């Protein structure tokens, strides 16, 4: 994130420690996650110790400390989805992409998240892919979904390289 963008966010809120969470929300909205440099700048701007900024940012689930992938797969692990096999979906996703929960694939295409309930329990198990809801997902459907999203882009990049 550029220093200018952070200045813009901090504008009018400098030296107001109580604005910490608001500012972190704005940083996250702009960047998709909260980078270390942004936290340092926020710490300077608001007059909050860096430890405090990091503590708050790491405490709330709403803040991401690592960049998200281009496609964020969110697997619902609520009670209804859990009994219908959300665990299998998580295993399928982590196995197929070769990453752990909360991580991003090396090519930056996918990241896997879990959520405790999406409020559509009757349609479970639910997997959302960038705000798009997929209902009654099975490990097979999830595999096809990941293949179709991820399938085209690597080929395109390969093509570009050969040219």
Max Cα–Cα distance, the chain, nearest Å: 54
Q: Which of 2, 4, 11, 59 binds another protein (CB under 8 A)?
A: 59
Binding of residue 58 to another protein (CB under 8 A): yes
Nearest CB to another protein, comparing residues 11 and 59: 59
Shortest spacing between CB 24 and another protein, in angstroms: 14
Residue 163 is classified by DSSP as -
Nearest CB to another protein, comparing residues 58 and 130: 58
Residue 127 β-bridge partners: 75, 134
Q: Considering only CA atoms, which of 71, 92, 72 is closest in space to residue 140?
A: 92
Which of 43-51, 82-90, 125-133, 141-149 is the region at the interface with another protein (rule: CB under 8 A)? 43-51
Nearest CB to another protein, comparing residues 63 and 133: 63
Strand locations in 57-99 (E): 71-76
Binding of residue 4 to another protein (CB under 8 A): no
Instruction: Let me know: does 114 contact 74? Beta carbons within 8 Å.
Output: yes
Q: Which two tokens stand for residue 34?
A: 């909260």
Query: Is 103 in a helix, a strand, or coil?
Result: coil
Q: Which of 3, 17, 47, 49 binds another protein (CB under 8 A)?
A: 49
Within 10 angstroms of residue 11's Cβ, the number of other Cβ atoms is 9
Shortest spacing between CB 33 and another protein, in angstroms: 14
Which residues of this chain interact with another protein, rule CB under 8 A? 36, 39, 49-55, 58-61
């Amino acid at each position: 994130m550029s220093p200018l963008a952070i200045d813009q966010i901090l504008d009018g809120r400098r030296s107001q420690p109580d604005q910490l969470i608001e500012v972190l929300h704005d940083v996250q909205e702009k960047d998709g996650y909260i980078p270390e440099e942004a936290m340092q700048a926020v710490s300077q701007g608001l007059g909050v110790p860096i430890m405090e900024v990091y503590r708050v940012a790491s405490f709330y689930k709403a803040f991401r400390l690592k960049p998200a992938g281009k496609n964020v797969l969110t697997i619902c692990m609520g009670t209804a989805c859990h009994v219908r096999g959300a665990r299998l979906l998580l295993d399928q996703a982590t196995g197929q992409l070769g990453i752990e929960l909360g991580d991003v694939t090396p090519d930056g295409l996918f990241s896997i998240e879990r959520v405790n309930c999406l409020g559509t329990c009757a349609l479970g198990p639910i997997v959302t892919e960038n705000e798009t809801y997929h209902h009654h997902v099975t490990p097979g459907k999830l595999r096809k979904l990941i293949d179709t999203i991820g399938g085209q882009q690597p080929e395109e990049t390969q093509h570009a390289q050969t040219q």
